[in-house]
């Protein structure tokens, strides 16, 4: 008999409860090895590639691309002893390999005409299950309740990206074909299947897309935006509704909780940063810094670290359950980053220990990973204080909301040339605006003002860092 092992959705970060399946790298029947790429998931924090945990053959994929699966739920089964004794002749194994590949978590048995009826629970032919494993026979779909998904808000709506839940839309299609339908905006329920057993093929989807092209041209132009691909319409295409998921959902939850839990206070400071711009220019020409990117953000990050060293009580958090203030003796410096997946705040671990060159290297790596959607989950937890750099967008300043679990966040605005009184004369100087939001439960106004003033002082005269460093 085959030896079936079940792979459950792991916690790819600290305390995550669910993840979205983005791409399967394998299909039922594939021979796999330990640590080869198995699938790609999107959590509330990052995009993560999961390795295969077994050597053997893929028996079934228990959740489809696009599904939201709870941590701990079974997502795939493997035969880890494919060379073992063959099953008995009367064992109801899959009769149609195509159907076995197609029926994966999405299509109930009753809707798969080529698949035989499943054996009763008492039948010895049923694949042995470990407690809670959710293992099933090849081609029989998923054990009820094994992969826990989010229900659609309104099953009667017209999905732009094609059918996702076979209990509502009985369509036979492999996960890659479903993904293609979503990418092309084809509703699978409107496609005439040409494959065996009523299977929708890639060619069917492509033909349907071409047939719909004339109608698509008449739809509202905004529907071509990539961030609307996962949406659906309930008013004939006049508007698109996109389910709030993953990073956007977690960001919204965190910001609402932070805004209505921590009493925010924001203080502002306008600083002459001409000397900072001069320093940036000099460092760019320095051979010691030739291998890193030097920007004004590097200097403001160093300035904030110096201010935290002078006022360590700003580097804290509020433990509401224990009614305690937790003072951190380390600085994990968060840098807010806008990515294709939404706002992320990865942090540099133990940034207070880094000299300027090492800090520049860490900033460069953090930014590159965020832009490539490769930020590791560990970089998104444990932050103690953050910076949001709104200057590149041409924004002077703002009133940033605290990252949950932190007591302060610094907004760094655009640097502009403007008239400024310098040494008793009006001159053209480089000027920026800084804003510091803080949790007034544990940070008094005086402390917040002193921290911001120190940041501005270093930005105005970077040599001050030598005195405080």
The answer to whether 157 and 234 are in contact (CB under 8 A) is yes
Tell me the three state secondary structure of residue 178: helix
Kindly list the distances between the CA atom of residue 77 and the CA atoms of 60, 130, 235, 337, in Å, as whole numbers in the listed order: 5, 12, 41, 37
Please name every residue paired with 344 in a beta bridge, in sequence order, or none if there are none: 337
Q: Pull the structure tokens for residue 1.
A: 């008999």
- Calculate the dihedral angle through the C-alpha atoms of 215, 219, 225, 226, rounding to the nearest 10 degrees: -40
Other C-beta atoms lying within 10 Å of the C-beta of residue 84: 11
CA distance to 59, 139, 175, 181, per residue, from 98 (Å): 13, 9, 12, 19
Interatomic CA distance for residues 214 and 71, integer angstroms: 43
> Among residues 22, 17, 16, which one has the least CA distance to residue 41?
22
Print burial letters for 7-27: b (CB count within 10 Å at least 16), e (below 16): bbbeebbeebebbbbbbbebe
Helix, strand or coil for residue 393?
helix
DSSP state, residue 162: -
Find the catalytic residue in 264, 311, 357, 440.
440
Report d(CA 33, CA 50) in Å as an integer: 13
How large is the C-alpha radius of gyration of the chain? 28
Length of the chain: 469
Query: What are the backbone angles phi and psi of residue 152, rounded to the nearest 5°?
Result: -65, 150
Active site residue 440: yes
* Rounded alpha-carbon distances, angstroms, from residue 137 to 25, 31, 91, 118, 176: 21, 18, 10, 8, 22
- Is beta strand 347-348 parallel, antiparallel or unpaired with respect to 333-335? antiparallel
Question: What count of other Cβ atoms lies within 10 Å of the Cβ of residue 344?
Answer: 24
Long-range contacts of 79-84 (CB under 8 A, 24+ apart): 79/2, 79/3, 79/4, 80/3, 80/4, 80/5, 80/54, 80/55, 80/56, 81/2, 81/3, 81/56, 82/2, 82/31, 82/56, 82/57, 84/1, 84/2, 84/3
Cα–chain center distance at 32: 27
- Residues serving a catalytic function are 440
């Amino acid at each position: 008999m085959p030896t079936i092992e079940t792979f459950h959705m792991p916690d790819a970060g600290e305390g995550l409860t669910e993840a979205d399946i983005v791409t399967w790298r394998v299909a039922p029947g594939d021979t796999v090895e330990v640590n080869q790429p198995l699938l790609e998931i999107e959590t509330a924090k990052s995009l993560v590639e999961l390795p295969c945990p077994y050597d053997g053959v893929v028996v079934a994929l228990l959740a489809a691309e696009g599904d939201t699966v709870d941590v701990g739920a079974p997502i795939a089964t493997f035969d880890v002893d494919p060379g073992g004794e063959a099953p008995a002749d009367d064992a109801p194994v899959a009769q149609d390999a195509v159907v076995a590949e197609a029926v994966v978590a999405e299509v109930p048995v009753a809707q798969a005409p080529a698949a035989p009826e499943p054996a009763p629970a008492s039948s010895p032919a049923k694949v042995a299950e470990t407690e809670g494993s959710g293992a099933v026979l090849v081609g029989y779909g998923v054990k009820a309740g094994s992969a826990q998904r989010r229900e659609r808000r309104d099953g009667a709506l017209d999905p732009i990206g094609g059918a996702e839940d076979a209990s509502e839309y009985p369509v036979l299609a492999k996960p890659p074909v479903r993904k293609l339908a979503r990418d092309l905006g084809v509703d699978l329920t409107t496609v005439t299947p040409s494959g065996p057993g009523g299977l929708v093929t890639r060619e069917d989807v492509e033909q349907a897309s071409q047939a719909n092209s004339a109608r698509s041209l008449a739809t509202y132009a905004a529907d071509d935006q990539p961030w609307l691909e996962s949406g659906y319409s309930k008013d004939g295409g006049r508007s698109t509704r996109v389910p709030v998921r993953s990073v956007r959902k977690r960001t919204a939850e965190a910001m609402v909780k932070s805004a209505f839990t921590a009493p925010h206070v924001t203080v502002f400071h306008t600083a002459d940063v001409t000397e900072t711009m001069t320093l940036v220019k000099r460092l760019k020409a320095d051979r010691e810094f030739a291998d890193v990117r030097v920007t004004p953000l590097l200097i403001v990050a160093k300035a904030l670290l110096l201010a935290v060293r002078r006022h360590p009580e700003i580097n804290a958090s509020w433990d509401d359950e224990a009614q305690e203030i937790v003072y951190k003796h380390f600085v994990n410096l968060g840098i807010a980053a806008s990515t294709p997946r939404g706002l992320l705040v990865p942090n540099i671990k133990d940034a207070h220990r880094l000299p300027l060159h090492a800090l520049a290297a860490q900033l460069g790596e953090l930014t590159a990973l965020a832009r490539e959607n490769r930020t590791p989950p560990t970089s998104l937890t444990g932050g103690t204080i953050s910076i949001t750099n709104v200057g590149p967008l041409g924004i002077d300043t703002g009133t940033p909301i605290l990252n949950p679990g932190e007591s302060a966040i610094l907004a760094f605005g655009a640097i502009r040339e403007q008239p400024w009184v310098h040494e008793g004369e009006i001159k053209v100087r480089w000027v920026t605006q800084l804003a510091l939001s803080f949790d007034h439960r544990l940070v008094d106004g005086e402390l917040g003002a002193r921290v911001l003033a120190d940041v501005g002082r270093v930005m105005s005269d970077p040599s001050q860092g030598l005195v405080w460093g």
